[in-house]
Amino acid sequence: MPSHKQRLFYLDWVRALATILIVIAHFNNPVLTNRPAFPNAPFGIYIGDLGVSQFLIISGAALMYTYEDEEHLDLKTFFWKRFKSIYPMFWIAFAIANAYSFVVSRGSSASRAPKLSLILSLIGMDGYLSNAGLSTFYILGEWFLGFIVFFYIVFPLLRYGVIHHPWITAGLGLAAYAATLLLHPHLGQMPESLLLTTRIPELCFGMYFVRYVNTVSHPVALIAALLLVFQALTGQIPGSFAVTVVGMASFLLLVWISRWIEYRPIKIIVGSISNYSYAIFLVHHLVIKQMFAIVPAERVIGSLSVYVLFFVDILVIAALSYLLQRLNKGTMIYVRSMFTGFDKTLQKQARA
Taking CA atoms, 256 is separated from 57, 216, 219, 275, in Å, by: 15, 5, 10, 21
Which of 256, 266, 251, 317 has its CA nearest to residue 287?
317
Residue 100 neighbours by CB distance under 10 Å: 13
Mean model confidence pLDDT for the chain: 91
**Predicted pLDDT at 111:** 67
**Predicted pLDDT at 229:** 96
For residue 351, pLDDT over 70 is answered with no
Q: Which residues contact 7 (CB under 8 A, 6 or more apart)?
A: 271
Q: How confident is the model at residue 84 (pLDDT cuts 50, 70, 90)?
A: very high
Q: What is the percent of the chain where pLDDT is above 70?
A: 94
Backbone phi and psi for residue 302, each to the nearest 5 degrees, phi listed first: 75, 10
**Predicted pLDDT at 110:** 60
pTM here is 0.91
